[in-house]
Amino acid sequence: MSPPLDIRRLSYADLPQVIAIERRVFPTPWSLAMFVLELSKPSGICLAAVREGRLVGYLVCSRYDTVWHLMNVAVDLDARREGIGSTLISELFRRGDGPGERYTLEVRMSNGGAISLYEGFGFRGAGHRRGYYHDNREDALIMWRSAAGPVDGSNGASGSAGRAGSSSARA
């Protein structure tokens, strides 16, 4: 049986571990300053997934006007496909959902795993941003979810690709 996973608010003290994962996981990692900025926003939801005292994943979601923007989700390389990404997103919806709440994100067209994950939570593709990612000019898939969608990731995930880059959003 896997050790228990604790989902809690991401704190400034977590940032060294976050940056280490960020550099392992992404070709264009966020800077420390970008995480500090997101953590400083009182309206945002930033979560840490911790197992046996080690940070194994994180999620950053900002609120812009009336819409939640899922900016970043990552799980460390050796902790994938154990439900940690799903648990982080479920907790986001538990904290953020309410009547009429809407969520959006951008994800690389080539990131099939992340797209499948998001589709499982009711996100649906709604257009593209051409050349959104600076490193390889890859297009982003824009996805949206309304709060009426499922919150447990159990609606039959399927799909194609995932993560963002021209702006800071990359989930």
Buried-exposed string 116-142: b where 16+ CB fall within 10 A, e elsewhere? bbbbbbbbebeeebeebbeeeebbbbb
Give the one residue of 45, 46, 47, 107 binding ligand COA; rule: CB under 6 A: 107
- Taking the C-alpha atoms of residue 33 and residue 40, their distance in angstroms, rounded to an integer, is 10
With respect to ligand COA, which residue has the nearer C-beta, 7 or 117? 117
Assess 10 for contact with ligand COA (CB under 6 A).
Answer: no
Least Å distance, CB 156 to ligand COA, is 9
The β-bridge partners of 103 are 68, 145
- Taking the C-alpha atoms of residue 160 and residue 151, their distance in angstroms, rounded to an integer, is 20
- Taking the C-alpha atoms of residue 77 and residue 70, their distance in angstroms, rounded to an integer, is 20
Q: Decide if 64 is catalytic.
A: no
Footprint on residues 56-95 left by ligand COA (CB under 6 A): 72-75, 80-86
Assess 114 for contact with ligand COA (CB under 6 A).
Answer: yes
Stretch that binds ligand COA, among 34-42, 60-68, 113-121, 127-135 (CB under 6 A): 113-121
Helices (H) and strands (E) in the chain, counts: 4, 7
Catalytic residue among 118, 119, 132, 133: 118
Give the one residue of 15, 25, 32, 147 binding ligand COA; rule: CB under 6 A: 25
Q: Decide if 118 is catalytic.
A: yes
Parallel, antiparallel, or unpaired for β 67-75 and 102-108? parallel
Q: Which residues bind ligand COA (CB under 6 A)?
A: 25, 72-75, 80-86, 107, 111-114, 116-117, 120, 157, 162-163, 170-171
